């Protein structure tokens, strides 16, 4: 039996044996050299060690747009002043008078120097990192040596957050052993804390899969050290996730019939639930949990939509009953979409919006708990998230069927695959900002294409010349030359076609992030089956890390796998 299908444990128990070294702590702060100085109001000022360390966090980020944002600057200055000595607090009262330029330059130079190191030096550094990885990066779980995902604590620094996060710039404190809870098995060799320190607590809880945890100081959330995605435990969980989504396939028709019926329900609560579910199913929106105000960026999902986030158009661009969505979703990514919906949905939305202010909740009788409880009643294990996984995977499978031309060469088929993946990313609204290097690298590619075109034209001339010569002389040698020139021409034309495909792919992909769906929403067996069916090497789609994560799928799926 494969490692994915070993003996099952009793409910809730995740492991019988767990042994590890505990987290690897970030090395302590190294003070700046004497000649690198901080200036206040034009004069050099020697800072205490703690204050200096925080100053370096800001200095390192000077060329980042974060440090131009007022909220970042204010949060940083407020937290920095809290850590200063009283003498420093007396002097340093205005961020605008602080000059971090010399410190910034020091770190830029240091990073350039690291890049310029000779090969042997780089190799030495790599060996040191590998040694730490060997020592701290693995655990023993039920007799298997498993890789740990993030075995290092996060270094101290300034909180960035995503989107317009109200806490950006705040001080992320250094994690100490005294903050850390260790989880392992009773009979294992319990990890030793660093010298002179002790753990916050040691637990033996085999109903959870984390190895260590601590509370980070900015959002007060728990952080965990977990196993690497390639580990058996994570692989099984991943596999289960897609199996639940596949079960949805068998009942989705019933669910859809049910919510359509509920559009006419006498209970407002049910109507709102039915419309929200329609959005989650049709548009793959996230559920949208309630959040603490002021703690996080103002982002919403389906259940937390406000009246201001949608506009209704009885007619728009030749379509009827159009809903125009415009809101910030998870990670402050803007969701903008115009969708033609069914008439009863449109009518219900008009009803939900009646006599409400823009900032009122659209679904004021609905929360995610109520929605997910209903979903659980419809199918065991069903949550709003399962719809996203289900719709993403089904879309990939259908698009691959529609787009793949068995006659195409590998490059052509890979373009079809990426187009299918793009359809999913668009459905899930996985965007990225256009890479800074995009224009330049596109230009380089275009120059290569132009050069290749010239080569093709020259080769065409050569073929014509060789053919004429053969016509005149009928010499077998000349005939061989014709064949040789034709072969060269064909090879150049294939190279040109491949480059053109590459350019198309790059252009279509500049604002779309494919990675998120590939790693989290798409059943890897669909991809594995497609590769096997069309003879595409799996490494053309999944890199080494992804192949490790999806080892279970590569083991399991034949070319006939259907999601």
Positions marked catalytic: 521
Residues forming a β-bridge with 158: 171
Phi, psi for residue 506 in degrees, rounded to 5: -60, -45
Q: Give the CA angle between residues 148, 153, 157 to the nearest 5°.
A: 145
- Residue 98, both tokens: 């602080």
Check: CB of residue 180 under 8 Å from CB of residue 214. yes
Q: Within 13 Å, how many C-alpha atoms sit on residue 194's CB side?
A: 13
Query: Residue 82 CA to chain centroid, in angstroms?
Result: 34
Q: What backbone phi and psi angles, to 5 degrees, belong to 536?
A: -95, 130
Q: Which residues, in sequence order, are CB contacts of 540 under 8 Å at separation 6+?
A: 410, 414, 531
207 neighbors 13 (Cβ within 8 angstroms): yes
For residue 240, the SS3 value is helix
Q: Which residues, 6+ apart, have CB-to-CB distance to 522 below 8 Å?
A: 392, 393, 396, 421, 424
At residue 168's C-alpha, the angle toward residues 165 and 173, to 5°, is 130
How is 257-300 classified by DSSP, letter by letter?
HHHHHHTT-S-HHHHHHHHHHHHHHHH---------TTTS----
**Secondary structure of 96-148 in the HEC alphabet?**
HHEECHHHHHHHHHHHHHHHCCCHHHHHHHHHHHHHHHHHHCEEEECCEEEEE
394-400: Cβ within 8 A, 24+ apart: 394/249, 394/563, 395/420, 395/423, 395/424, 395/427, 396/420, 396/421, 396/423, 396/424, 396/522, 396/526, 396/527, 397/526, 397/562, 397/563, 399/423, 399/424, 400/526, 400/530
- Show contacts of 87-94: CB within 8 Å, 24+ apart: 88/47, 88/48, 88/51, 91/40, 91/45, 92/40, 92/45
Q: What are phi and psi of 547, to 5 degrees?
A: -65, -35
Compute the distance between CA of residue 120 and CA of residue 111 in angstroms, rounded to an integer: 17
Token pair, residue 250, equals 């068998």
- 100-125 burial: b if 16+ Cβ within 10 Å, else e: beebbebbeeeeeeeeeeeeeeeeee
Backbone dihedral angles phi then psi of residue 238, each to the nearest 5 degrees: -60, -45
């Amino acid at each position: 039996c494969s490692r994915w299908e070993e003996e099952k444990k009793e409910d809730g128990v995740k492991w019988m044996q767990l042994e590890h070294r505990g987290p690897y702590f970030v090395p302590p702060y190294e003070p700046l050299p004497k000649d690198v100085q901080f200036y206040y109001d034009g004069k050099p000022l020697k800072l205490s060690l703690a204050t200096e360390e925080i100053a370096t966090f800001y200095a390192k980020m000077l060329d980042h747009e974060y440090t131009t944002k007022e909220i970042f600057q204010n949060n940083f200055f407020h937290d920095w002043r809290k850590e200063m000595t009283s003498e420093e607090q007396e002097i340093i009262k205005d961020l605008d008078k602080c000059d971090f330029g010399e410190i910034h330059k020091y770190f830029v130079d240091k990073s350039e120097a690291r890049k310029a190191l000779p090969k042997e030096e780089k190799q030495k550094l790599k060996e040191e990192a590998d040694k730490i990885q060997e020592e701290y990066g693995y655990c023993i779980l039920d007799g298997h040596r498993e890789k740990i995902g993030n075995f290092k604590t996060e270094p101290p620094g300034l909180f960035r957050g995503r989107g317009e996060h109200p806490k950006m710039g705040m001080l992320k404190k250094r994690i100490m052993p005294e903050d850390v809870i260790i989880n392992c098995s009773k009979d294992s060799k319990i990890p030793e804390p660093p010298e002179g320190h002790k753990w916050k607590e040691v637990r033996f809880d085999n109903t959870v899969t984390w190895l260590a945890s601590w509370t980070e100081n900015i959002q007060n959330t728990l952080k965990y050290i977990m196993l690497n995605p390639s580990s058996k435990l994570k692989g099984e969980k991943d596999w289960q996730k897609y199996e639940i989504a596949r079960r949805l396939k068998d009942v989705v028709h019933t669910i859809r019939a049910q919510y359509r019926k509920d559009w006419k329900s006498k209970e407002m609560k049910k109507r709102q639930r039915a419309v929200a579910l329609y959005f989650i199913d049709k548009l793959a929106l996230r559920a949208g949990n309630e959040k603490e105000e002021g703690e996080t960026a103002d982002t919403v999902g389906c259940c937390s939509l406000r009246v201001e986030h949608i506009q209704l158009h009885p007619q728009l661009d030749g379509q009827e009953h159009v809903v125009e969505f415009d809101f910030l979703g998870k990670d402050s990514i803007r969701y903008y979409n115009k969708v033609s919906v069914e008439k009863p949905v449109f009518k219900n939305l008009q009803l939900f919006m009646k006599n409400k202010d823009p900032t009122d909740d659209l679904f004021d009788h609905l929360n995610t708990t109520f929605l997910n409880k209903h979903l659980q009643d419809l199918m065991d294990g069903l949550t709003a998230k399962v719809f996203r996984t289900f719709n993403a995977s089904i879309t990939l499978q259908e698009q691959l069927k529609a787009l793949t031309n068995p006659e195409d060469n590998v490059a052509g088929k890979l373009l079809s695959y990426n187009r299918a993946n793009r359809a999913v990313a668009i459905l899930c609204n996985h965007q990225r900002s256009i890479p800074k290097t995009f224009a330049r690298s596109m230009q380089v590619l275009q120059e290569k294409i132009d050069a290749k075109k010239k080569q093709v034209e020259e080769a065409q001339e050569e073929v014509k010349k060789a053919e004429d010569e053969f016509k005149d002389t009928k010499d077998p040698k000349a005939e061989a030359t014709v064949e040789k020139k034709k072969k060269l021409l064909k090879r150049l034309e294939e190279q040109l076609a491949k480059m053109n495909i590459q350019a198309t792919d790059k252009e279509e992909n500049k604002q779309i992030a494919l990675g998120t769906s590939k790693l989290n929403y798409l059943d890897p067996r669909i991809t594995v089956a497609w590769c096997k069916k069309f003879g595409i090497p799996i490494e053309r789609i999944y890199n080494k890390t992804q192949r490790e994560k999806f080892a279970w799928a590569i083991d399991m799926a034949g070319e006939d796998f259907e999601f």
